[in-house]
Amino acid sequence: MAAAVSPKNYFLSRFEPLLRAFLVAPLAVAMVGSCQSAPAGKAAIDSPDPVHTGPATLPPPQNGLPPDPIHSVKEEPKGFAVPKPPLSKELWPCQDCHEAQVPNPVRRELKEEHTNIHLHHDEANRWCLDCHNKDNRDFLHLASGVTITFDESYRLCGQCHGTQYRDWKSGIHGKRTGMWDGEKQYLLCVHCHNPHSPHFKPLKPEAPPVRPTLIR
Amino acid sequence: MLTEKPETHACSCGGKTGGCAKKQETVEETAPHHGHDHGHEAAEELTDDEAARKLSMSRRNFMKHSAIVAGAATAAACSTEELEKFTAHRLREMTQPELKQLIKRLEADYKKQFKKNVEVRATPAAEGVKFGYALDLSRCIGCRRCVHACVKENNQSRPTPEGEHNNPIHWIRVLEMEKEKGIDLSDANPYYNPAEVPREGHFYMPVQCQQCENPPCVKVCPVQATWKEPDGIVVIDYEWCIGCRYCMVACPYGARRFNWAEPNLPADQLNPNTHVLGNRPRPKGVVEKCTFCIQRTREGRYPACVEICPVGARKFGNMLDPKSEIRAVLESKRVFILKEDLNTRPKFFYFFGI
């Protein structure tokens, strides 16, 4: 077996991963750099949403078959009829206060405002401005820098929680109310999960059934 | 022969709600739990009396006379309404006018009983619909919100504070099981009541009527008072049920409940939107169970337990509709059914969503 492989092929197969790493790494660094220097904040809000306005035409289906899932461009759903996010009336809109302030991205204990927020959501790695838009607090932003409204917060959650996002879109994750055969009311992730501390809190159970021996 | 003849007259009201004077007397005399056997008791009482006076009579004459006496007594004691009830068909065989008449009578009865307008509908199953249900066991936290939403929606018997009528009925039973042991129905606890759920190391499995495609409860009913509708819901004709409880024994899921006493349903807690095969107030002595909220789902709405669930563990829809949530679950999750080996083929699926 080994005798059949020429020395050149052996070298290539042995060191191919290493070669690739050397070739690809500088490219990746360059790309990350360009991302960071891309305009963010106000400019991004005005710019059209690249995902939602996305590719206008999909390849036409051939022979009545759906488009090839790998080679065709995947289209994001055009948004869901979700209710308004549960924003507190006293604090919304955020810009009323934040417009005059200089953003402070430093991780710190919040002593003056938002003291009720205790971040228990991958807090070791994240801070406010990882989700909230730095220059206009009435918006959120995705990891790509795309600015989104609070109505679309599911896209933000879906970046990390991909399986839940997939299930939510098909109605498996989360709750829908209304008509099973018609108009449904959806819920945003944040209607059930506190985005700053998303784990469900324990509940008091309602009354148990009566044991048959106690029935009179 | 002796017992047969008088029985035909003895309590034509055939019933559970009362009204017939003869019946009420006998009910008081006999044990309150055996309201259905009173016809028999009444017959014996009557024949004893007659027999004492007419010992010398021939058997044929005796029978003739007793039948006439019995007929007269029935006519005197029972109104035309009672007679109508007695001669009515079972719900499944009713013509449209008969069904309308039944609904009219039921609505009038409820108005009298609860001093409140109750709407009884008889919405039939829609074409091309087969209901399915899925429950995500990895989400359920055992809070029993579904149990009590069901009680309110479906007019089940409530507990009384004094405990006099302490026979509350729940159609959903939530089983608490240990994670270490896995699904072990023999070791499940439905009576758990800690300060907070979920309890450490435990998981919860709500069980209700599984709406089998091959329902054993339907097979055993001696009077065919329970059957499977075209949309897959197993229903009960409360007018026809004789309370023998064979179905409760046959059900491998323990999903059926019996009204041992007159249900305690305060008028202010009554849900007036009812279906004749679903949540309309039941009389004493009949079996009841989950109907996938037939009064809601036949109108296109979700069942009450689906809408109340605080963790969104409950999924419901039309299994014949490829875009429904239930189909999404069936196609993308590994679902299982309870007691698969019994070939009951439930339309209630469990899955672990995570």
A167 in reach of chain B (CB within 8 A): yes
Instruction: Count Cβ–Cβ pairs < 8 Å, chain A vs chain B.
Output: 110
- Interchain pair B310, A192: CB under 8 A: yes
- The structure's pTM equals 0.73
- Most distant CA pair in chain B: distance in Å? 82
- CB distance B144–A173 less than 8 Å? no
What is the C-alpha to C-alpha distance for residues B218 and B228, in angstroms, rounded to an integer? 8
All structural domains of chain B: 4-85 (no CATH), 131-351 (3.30.70.20)
| B248 touches A at CB < 8 Å | no
State the pLDDT confidence band at B261, using cuts at 50, 70 and 90: confident
Chain B residue with Cα closest to A168: B325
Question: Which of B307, B310, B353 is the closest to A177 by Cβ?
Answer: B307
Chain-chain contact of B166 with A214 (C-beta, under 8 angstroms): yes
Dist. CA B292–CA B228, nearest whole Å: 12
| Beta-carbon separation of B328 and A170 below 8 A | yes
Q: Smallest CA–CA separation between B313 and chain A, in Å?
A: 7
Residue % of chain A over a pLDDT of 90? 36
Q: Which of B33, B315, B351 to mutate to test the interface with A (most CBs of A within 10 A)?
A: B315
Q: Is A211 on the interface with B (CB under 8 A)?
A: yes
Summarize the confidence of residues B292-303 as an average pLDDT: 96
Chain B contact probe: residue of A181, A183, A186, A194 with most B CBs at under 10 A: A181
> Cβ contacts (< 8 Å) between A183 and chain B: which residues?
none
- The residue ranking higher by pLDDT, B50 or A155, is A155
Does residue B51 carry a pLDDT above 60?
no
A158 Cβ contact partners less than 8 Å away, ≥ 6 residues apart:
A164, A165, A168
> B202 touching A, CB under 8 A?
no
**CB–CB of A180 and B353 under 8 A?**
no
Backbone angles phi, psi at B248, to 5 degrees: -65, -35
Angle at B241 between CA B127 and CA B249, to 5 degrees: 95
Buried b (16+ CB within 10 A) or exposed e, A13-47: eeeeeeeeeeeeeeeeeeeeeeeeeeebbeebbee
Is any Cβ of chain B less than 8 angstroms from the Cβ of A162? no
Interface check B140 vs A, CB under 8 A: no
Q: What is the pLDDT of residues A51-100, one digit of tens each?
A: 443 344 444 445 555 554 444 444 455 556 778 888 888 888 888 889 88
Cα of A190 to nearest chain B Cα, Å: 13
A185 near B CB under 8 A: no
Condensed to tens digits (0 to 9), the pLDDT of residues A99-141 reads 888 888 888 888 888 888 989 999 899 999 999 999 899 999 9
Q: Of B196, B307, B328, which is closest to A204 when you measure between CB atoms?
A: B196
Q: Are B164 and A216 a contacting pair at CB < 8 A?
A: yes
Q: What angle is formed at CA B131 by the lines to CA B126 and CA B134, rounded to 5 degrees? A: 160
Is the per-residue pLDDT at A20 higher than 60? no
For the residues of B98-118, what is the DSSP string, one character each?
HHHHHHHHHHHHHHHHHSS--
Q: What CA–CA distance (Å, rounded) separates B291 from B233?
A: 6
Q: Which of B167, B301, B325 sits opposite A172 (nearest CB)?
A: B325
**Position A115: which residue type?**
T
Alpha helix (H) ranges present in chain B? 4-10, 21-29, 38-53, 59-77, 80-87, 96-114, 145-153, 216-220, 246-250, 294-297, 304-308, 325-332
> Exposed/middle/buried for B72, CB within 10 Å: 0-12, 13-18, 19+?
exposed
- Does A200 contact B at CB distance below 8 Å? yes
Q: Which residue has the tokens 């009545």?
A: A64
Q: Which of A172, A179, A205 sits opposite B301 (nearest CB)?
A: A179
Q: What letters, b where the CB count within 10 A reaches 16 and e where it falls short, cover B211-238?
A: bbeebbbbeebeeebbbbbebbbbbbbb
Answer whether A183 touches B (CB < 8 Å): no
B144, B193, B300 ranked by CB distance to A181: nearest: B300
- Tell me: pLDDT of B25 over 70: no
- Enumerate residues 76 to 105 of chain B having a beta carbon within 8 A of any beta carbon in chain A: none
Answer whether residue B54 shows pLDDT above 70.
no
A182 reaches B (C-beta below 8 A): yes
User: Is the pLDDT confidence value at B41 over 60?
Assistant: no
The predicted model gives A30-39 an average pLDDT of 40
Quick one: pLDDT at residue B55? 53
- ipTM for the predicted complex: 0.74
Which of A163, A175, A188, A215 to mutate to test binding with chain B, by most B CBs within 10 Å of its CB? A175
- How far does B203 lie from chain A, in Å, by closest CA? 13
Domain segments of chain A: what residues? 40-48+77-101+118-199
Using a CB-CB distance cutoff of 8 angstroms, which residues of chain A are in contact with residue B321? 181
| Mean pLDDT value of segment B295-313 | 96
Asked if B192's CB is within 8 angstroms of A208's CB, the reply is yes
In this predicted model, which residue has the larger pLDDT, A37 or A152?
A152
Whether chain A has a CB inside 8 Å of the CB on B302: the answer is yes
Residues of B in contact with A170 (CB under 8 A): 325, 328, 332
In a mutational test of the A interface, the residue from B189, B299, B302 whose CB has the highest number of chain A CBs within 10 Å is: B302
CA distance A163 to chain B (A): 9
Q: Residues B288-315: what's their mean pLDDT?
A: 96
Tell me which of A1-15, B162-176, B242-256, B291-305 is least confident.
A1-15
- Nearest Cα to B233, choosing from B275, B180, B184? B275
